[in-house]
Amino acid sequence: MSNPKEAIKEKSMVIQKDMLANLFTELSNAKANGKKVVYTFVPGNLVELILALDMLPVYPEINALQSGMRKKSGSYIKDAEKLGFSEDVCTYVKCDIGMMLNGNLGPTGEKLPDPDLLLLSYTGCFTFLKWFENLERLYPGVEIAMLHTPYQEDGQITDDQINYMVKQLQEEVIPKMEKVAGKKMDYDRLSKMLENSARQEELWVKVLETAKNRPSPIDSYFAGVYYMGPLNTGFRGTDAAVEYYEELLKEVTERMNLGLSPVTPEGEMKEEKFRLVVEGPPNWTNFREFWKIFYDLGAVIVASTYTKVGGVYDTGFRHEPGKPLESLARYCMGVYTNLNLPQRVDLIEHYIKEYKADGFLINSIKSCNSFSAGQLLMMREIEQRCEVPVGFIESDLVDPRYFSYANIKNRLESYFQMLEQRKQILAREEANA
Amino acid sequence: MMKQQPERLLTLLEECKTLAFDLNFTYAKEWKSKSKYRLLVGYLPIYVPREIMHAANALGVGIMGAGDRKQIIKGDAYYQSYICHLPRGVIEMALDNNLDNFDGFLFPSICDCVRNLSGMFKLVKRGKFQRYFDYPQNFEKHIGGTFYRELLETIIKDMFQINDMKITAKHLNDSIALYNINRRLIEKIYDIRKEFPWRLSAVDVYHIIRAGMVINVEKHNEMLEEIVGLLNEDYGEPMDNIRVVISGSFCEQPPIGLIRSIEMAGCYIIDDDFMLGSRWIQGDIDDASQDPLNAIVDAFLTQSAPSSAVYDYGNPKSARLIKKVKDRNADGVIFCAASFCDPALLDQPDLQKACDAAGVAHINFQFHENTGQFKVIKEQTGTFSDSIKLWV
Ligand code: SF4
Ligand code: SF4
- DSSP of A7-34, one letter per residue? GGT-HHHHHHHHHHHHHHHHHHTHHHHT
Best residue in A151, A343, A365 for a mutation probing chain B (most B CBs within 10 Å): A151
Closest atom of ligand 1 to CA, residue A281: 7
For residue A241, tell me if it sits in a domain.
Answer: no
Q: What residues of B are in contact with residue A373 (Cβ under 8 Å)? A: 79, 83, 87, 112-113, 115-117
Would residue A253 count as lying in a domain? no
Closest by Cβ to A366, choosing from B82, B337, B339: B82
What are the structural domain ranges in chain B? 26-165
Q: How far is the CA of A102 from the centre of ligand 1 (A)?
A: 22
**Does the Cβ of A368 fall within 6 Å of ligand 1?**
yes
Indicate which atom in ligand 1 lies nearest the CA of residue A371: 2
Q: What share of chain B is helix, strand, coil (3-state, %, to 5)?
A: 50, 10, 35
Q: What is the pLDDT of residue A8?
A: 55
For the sheet containing A143-148, what is the strand order?
A56-58, A37-40, A117-122, A143-148
What's the CA gap between B88 and B72, in Å, rounded? 7
In the listed set A138, A160, A186, which residue is the last one of a domain according to the structure? A186
Per-residue model confidence (pLDDT) at position A5: 42
CB contact A163 to B (< 8 Å):
yes
User: A289 and A409: one domain?
Assistant: yes
Q: A354 to chain B, minimum CA–CA distance in Å?
A: 22
B115–chain A Cβ distance below 8 A for any pair: yes
Residue-averaged pLDDT of chain A: 95
Give, for ligand 2, the residue of B251, B275, B366 to mutate: max count of ligand atoms closer than 8 Å to Cβ: B251
Query: Which of A166, A186, A206 delimits the end of a domain?
Result: A186
Tell me the percentage of chain B whose pLDDT exceeds 70: 99
Predicted local distance difference test score (pLDDT) of residue A9: 67
| Nearest-atom index, ligand 2, CA of B251 | 6
Over range B13-36, report the average pLDDT. Answer: 98
Q: What pLDDT is stored for residue A108 in this prediction?
A: 82
Residue A376 contacts B where some CB pair is shorter than 8 Å: yes
Kindly report, residue by residue over B306-333, the tens digit of the pLDDT. Answer: 999 999 888 899 999 999 999 999 999 9
Tell me how far apart the alpha carbons of residues B84 and B67 are, in angstroms, rounded to a whole number: 12
Q: Work out the pLDDT band at A3, boundaries 50, 70, 90.
A: very low
Q: Is A120 left (phi over 0), alpha (psi -120 to 50) or beta?
A: beta
Predicted confidence band at B2 (pLDDT cuts at 50, 70, 90)? confident
Residue A142 and residue A23 in one domain:
yes
Closest approach atom of ligand 2 to CA A369: 3
What are the backbone angles phi and psi of residue B372, rounded to the nearest 5°? Answer: -115, -15
Measured between alpha carbons, how far is A63 from A93 in angstroms, rounded to an integer?
10
User: Residue A127 Cα, ligand 1 centroid: separation in angstroms?
Assistant: 6
Distance CA B75, CA B93 (A): 9
Q: What's the whole-number mean pLDDT along residues B207-223?
A: 98
Q: Is residue A5 part of a domain?
A: no
Per-residue model confidence as pLDDT tens digits over B83-112: 999 999 999 999 999 999 999 999 999 999
CB contact under 8 A, B143 and A168: yes
Residues A168 and A266 in one domain: no
CB A106 within 8 A of CB A133: no
| Total-model pTM | 0.97
Q: Decide which of A169, A186, A203 is a domain's last residue.
A: A186
A320 shares its domain with A420? yes
Domain limits at A304?
A: 262-432
Is residue B379 lining ligand 2, measured as CB closer than 6 Å? no
**What is the percent of chain A with per-residue pLDDT over 70, rounded to a whole number?**
98
User: pLDDT tens for residues A109-138?
Assistant: 889 999 999 999 999 999 999 999 999 999
Nearest CA in chain B to A150: B134
Ligand 2 in contact with B44 (CB < 6 A)? no
Q: How far is B273 from chain A (nearest CA, A)?
A: 18
A 2-21 residues with CB below 8 A of B? Answer: none
How many angstroms away from the CA of A426 is the closest CA of chain B? 30
Indicate the pLDDT class of residue B392, thresholds 50, 70 and 90: low
Split at pLDDT 50, 70, 90, the class of A6 is very low
Residue B332: its H or E element? strand B332-338
* Ligand having the closest approach to the CA of B250: 2
Q: What is the mean pLDDT of residues B142-156?
A: 98
All residues of chain A having their beta carbon less than 8 Å from the beta carbon of residue B79 are 373, 376
Q: Which residues of A touch B82 (CB under 8 A)?
A: 88, 366, 372
CATH number at residue A396: 3.40.50.11900
Contact (CB<8Å) A373/B348: no
User: Quick check: is A257 in a domain?
Assistant: no
Q: Which residues of B touch A344 (CB under 8 A)?
A: 119
Contact with chain B for residue A134, Cβ under 8 A? yes
Please list every residue in chain A whose beta carbon sits closer than 8 Å to the beta carbon of residue B124.
377
The confidence score (pLDDT) of residue B1 equals 65
Q: What is the mean pLDDT of residues A159-186?
A: 98
Q: Which residues 65-84 on chain A approach chain B with CB closer than 8 angstroms?
A: 83-84
Helix, strand, or coil here: A177?
Answer: helix
pLDDT tens track for A197-256? 999 999 999 999 999 999 999 999 999 999 999 999 899 999 999 999 999 999 999 999
Q: Tell me the best of A62, A63, A90 to mutate to test the pocket of ligand 1, counting ligand atoms within 8 Å of each CB and taking the most.
A: A90
Same domain, A274 and A182: no
Amino acid at A145: A
Residue A208 resides in a domain: no
ipTM tops the 0.90 cut: yes
Between the CA of A386 and the centroid of ligand 2 the distance, in Å, is 32
In a domain, A320, yes or no: yes
Q: Residue B53 and residue B285: Cα distance in Å, rounded?
A: 16
Q: Are residues A302 and A156 in the same domain?
A: no
Using the predicted structure, report yes or no on whether residue A414 has a pLDDT greater than 50.
Answer: yes
Centre of ligand 2 to C-alpha B114, Å, is 7
Inter-chain residue contact B116 with A373, CB threshold 8 Å = yes
Tell me how far apart the alpha carbons of residues A243 and B163 are, in angstroms, rounded to a whole number. 58
Burial level of A399, CB count in 10 A (0-12/13-18/19+)?
Answer: buried
Give the rounded distance of the alpha carbon of B196 from its chain centre: 22
Sort B67 into a burial class: Cβ within 10 Å, 0-12 / 13-18 / 19+: buried
Q: Measured between beta carbons, which residues in chain A are less than 8 angstroms from residue B342?
A: 88-90, 126-127, 130, 369
Please say if the pLDDT value at position B188 is more than 70.
Answer: yes
Return the CATH number at A166.
Answer: 3.40.50.11890
Give the per-residue pLDDT at A107. Answer: 80
Does residue B251 have its Cβ closer than 6 Å to ligand 2? yes
Which chain B residue has the Cα nearest residue A161?
B147
Q: What is the 3-state secondary structure (H, E, C) of A67-130?
A: HHHCCCHHHHHHHHHHCCCCCCCCHHHHHHHHHHHCCCECCCCCECCCCCEEEEEECCCCHHHH
Q: d(Cα B265, Cα B241) in Å, to the nearest integer?
A: 9
Best mutation site among B84, B138, B151, B155 for testing chain A: the one with the most A CBs within 10 Å?
Answer: B138
Q: Are the beta carbons of B109 and A126 separated by less than 8 Å? A: yes
Q: Are residues A174 and A29 in the same domain?
A: yes
Residue at A175 is within a domain: yes
Task: Say yes or no for a CB contact (<8 Å) between A168 and B366.
Answer: no
Q: Which of A3-12, B68-77, B325-334, B360-369 has the lowest mean pLDDT?
A: A3-12
Residues in A closer than 8 angstroms to B357, CB to CB, are none
Contact B352 A83 (CB under 8 A): no
Q: Is B177 exposed, middle or buried (0-12, 13-18, 19+ CB in 10 A)?
A: middle
Q: What kind of fold does domain B26-165 have according to CATH?
A: Rossmann fold (3.40.50)
